[in-house]
Chains A and B, each alone.
Chain A
């Protein structure tokens, strides 16, 4: 053990001469190759929640609009998506907590600086409204008192669920963007749009699969719009990330990303070409698109972990910011002792 430890030490000493490090800024220096930031501790519940929240949020909008348009057949199926999606969301979130019994503490306050706080309120509203609206749409009418109450409650709940579904499907982009994880924070402008696209695709896909083809036109169109947007936003995001886009092509994130692309393309082609006539094609295409949307969330999730794990992704962009003069960084040196004192300590800024 000791010998092995020493050998490692020597290899490191040999391979990190200070002079060489200075000349190769791309290979950022690090502390024994260890991460600078912590990987998130979030479990698989979280990417599944991104998926479920997107599905539920966009399904509620689809259901309400289909109702307005008089397409009750589609609306009933879309309410199923809303009910399942928003119903699963709190279950997933609570089971991910370190202290699940304290889930109600999420509503102790409302903080706009915390997308998780805002999201908790959005989910509370959206989940409540979608439950009332969805149950009312699916349960057979009855003369019971609670059933009549549900009917009344569903009247405002339907538009409320549709409206709250929009932030529910998109805030999760801000949730992960507001972290120190490089590939998430630097993609803060694209992530909500990517999640919105996935939400549209999955809501449309589920409703296409569940609805008789004659009534599923709007759902198919929604799925296709979502798929096209999703396929367009991913390369845009990676382009804007530049070198930070790398994790999206590596390891699990890369695999999920390729899978997402393949499934989304195949599913949308099937939906576009055959789903108008064949219920089987609609079901298969819908399933493929749903799987694609889920994989896309997993790709984003995994890329965050991968970028957090490697100190290069944290240090190199920060060094470039400093080298490019966009920031001074957090270090202040004395340039030349005497001169600096004369100049009132050039590097001290607000410290005085």
Chain B
């Protein structure tokens, strides 16, 4: 895994670390959200009652560095698939829903409940870091991406630059905040708070190389068990962000969890953007010269 160059650290460079979040093991307990808040002293973020399953923290942001997504799905009933009994059950569930307006999660049949703990991806090619004009965002010796709060001047450029919508501005503070992958704990050889708090090992922390191997084996296992939607997300260095430090095993397409299916670090197009600026500036110069120097003096 040579794609990430942490040249500036020389001998102080450490093996790249990250998270493998295996969503097939997530039980939606939100211990990660709480542990993260506690350890990092992230301010409270009351967002109200959403009605979106059990998700009331909504998304990642300045005050939510871990976020557990909850997705309720009608179980797929293929043509040749589940027996007619399943269909009947699904239909009766539907009528129960229409008749009474009551949700019966505990009935289970006909429903699938997906949960996934989302976090900053610590991309190999991190757009937030590339566009940061102050250098507040930097690459640590662990290969993670961190905002220095004493440098950030709240310009907000990283916020729309992130293809995952991870960063946001903290109200009343003005600066951008996000997951640090517990930079302080890493320096003390401790695992990040969320991973330590996760009771099912859905969030696994470790050296990236080792995690990727583990994820490959888990994916095979799930595929053999017939979970066709299972997919590794951001585990491949050839994707648009060069793979990520925090990658996922998902049971459905990424967008179902609010993740982009083909995220890219727009820095790869910066040459094109500058070329367009050059052409436009030349055009403006031509318009100025043409208007003033050609034609009449007055």
Contacts and interface: CB of A to CB of B under 8 A. Distances in A.
B120 to A, nearest CB: 13
* A113, A190, A191, A314 interface centre (most CB from chain B within 10 Å): A113
Interface stretch (A124-132, A220-228, A259-267): A220-228
B291 A221 contact: yes
A69 B256 contact: no
A337 B159 CA distance: 39
Contacts of B13: none
Interface in A15-65: 16-19, 28-32, 34-42, 58, 61-62, 65
B258 A34 contact: yes
B222 to A, nearest CB: 8
Nearest to A73: B298
A351 B235 contact: yes
A69 B255 contact: no
Contacts of A318: 260-263
A112 B269 CA distance: 12
A221 B295 contact: yes
Contact of A114 (B132, B233, B238): B132
A98 B174 contact: yes
Majority SS at the chain A contact face:
helix
B53 to A, nearest CB: 7
A322 B258 contact: no
Interface string B64-76: 0000010111101
A100 to B, nearest CB: 8
Contacts of B55: 32
Contact of B288 (A105, A106, A200): A200
Given A4-B51, A174-B277, A189-B276, A113 B153 contact: no
A328 interface: yes
* B3, B69, B160, B295 interface centre (most CB from chain A within 10 Å): B160
Interface residues of A, number: 120
B174 A99 contact: yes
A1 interface: yes
Interface in A80-108: 96-99, 102-103, 105-106, 108
Interface in A159-205: 166-167, 169-171, 173-174, 177-181, 185, 188-193, 195-196, 199-200, 204
B6 interface: no
Contacts of B168: 38, 41
A350 B163 contact: no
B235 A38 contact: no
A6 B102 contact: yes
A17 B270 CA distance: 40
A62 B288 contact: yes
Interface stretch (B21-29, B184-192, B196-204, B239-247): B239-247
A341 B220 contact: yes
Contact of B259 (A9, A36, A109): A36
B69 A328 contact: no
Contact of A217 (B69, B131, B257, B295): B295
Nearest to A78: B292
A291 interface: no
19 contacts: A10-B101, A13-B72, A17-B74, A28-B255, A40-B160, A41-B156, A41-B168, A69-B292, A70-B297, A106-B134, A111-B133, A170-B280, A180-B127, A192-B279, A193-B276, A217-B298, A304-B160, A322-B261, A331-B261
Interface of A: 1, 3-10, 12-14, 16-19, 28-32, 34-42, 58, 61-62, 65-66, 68-71, 96-99, 102-103, 105-106, 108-109, 111-117, 120, 166-167, 169-171, 173-174, 177-181, 185, 188-193, 195-196, 199-200, 204, 214-219, 221-222, 225-226, 229, 304, 308, 311, 314-315, 318-319, 321-322, 327-334, 336-337, 340-341, 345, 347-352
The 4 closest A-B pairs by CB, nearest first: A98-B154, A98-B174, A5-B51, A31-B258
Given A5-B49, A318-B263, A341-B220, 7 more contacts: A29-B256, A35-B59, A62-B288, A113-B131, A192-B276, A331-B233, A348-B235
